[in-house]
Amino acid sequence: MAVRRAYDHWSRVPGLGFVLQLGDLIDEHNGGCHRGLDRVLEAMGPLPSYHTVGNHELYNCDRKDLARKYLQHRHTELPLDGGDPVFYYSFTPRPGVRLISLDCFDVSVLGRDPQEPQRRMAAELLARAHGTWDEECWEQTGELTGLDNASSTPTER
């Protein structure tokens, strides 16, 4: 597996203290959170890994499952906002260097239960931008007209 080979190589690099994993660690069509993500995370070697969440993780996992899985492989804690995992954090790997990971999917339809406020906010924005509540249309980026040209009232669900 490529991840195992990469970590084996990196562990031999003098002075390398950690790995930044910048998202999309698994394929979008992975068939669930536990299949590919568990396998890839197990292949990661002993180097500390700091994860940023990508959309492909959220196609396969809900935020709480993902937080539990990533916490096993991190050396910082993810803050919880009322029990909701927050995927932004910062750390200082070396004096004078501060790294910040953003949670680009805090307000999103990905990885969230339909009743969660952040998902409802994202759904409203997407419905307004696309003029429909049909979620299949939200994935077609060619259909986006931009917020300035979005209809003010989406078609009814």
Choose from 9-18, 25-34, 137-146 the range with maximum mean pLDDT: 9-18
Residue ranges per structural domain of the chain:
2-101, 107-157
Residue 81 vs residue 10, higher pLDDT: 10
- The rounded distance, in Å, linking the Cα atoms of 77 and 50 is 10
- The rounded distance, in Å, linking the Cα atoms of 58 and 108 is 10
CA 74 from centre of chain: 15
Q: Stretch 32-55: mean pLDDT, rounded?
A: 82
* pLDDT for 156 beyond 50: yes
- What confidence score (pLDDT) does residue 155 get? 53
pTM: 0.72
The position carrying tokens 């680009």 is 104
- The rounded distance, in Å, linking the Cα atoms of 114 and 65 is 16
pLDDT band at 27 (very low <50, low <70, confident <90, very high): confident
99: helix, coil or strand? strand
Q: pLDDT tens digits for 54-91?
A: 888 888 888 888 888 776 555 555 555 567 888 888 88
Q: Stretch 18-46: mean pLDDT, rounded?
A: 80
pLDDT band at 154 (very low <50, low <70, confident <90, very high): low
User: Percent of the chain beyond pLDDT 70?
Assistant: 77
* pLDDT for 109 beyond 60: yes
Side chain identity at 133, as an amino acid letter? Answer: W
Residue 21 vs residue 147, higher pLDDT: 21
- The rounded distance, in Å, linking the Cα atoms of 154 and 91 is 41
For residues 69 and 98, the answer to whether their CB atoms sit within 8 Å is: no
The dihedral built from the CA positions of residue 117, 123, 126 and 127, taken in this order, carries a sign that is negative
* pLDDT for 2 beyond 90: no
DSSP label at 154?
P
- What confidence score (pLDDT) does residue 144 get? 47
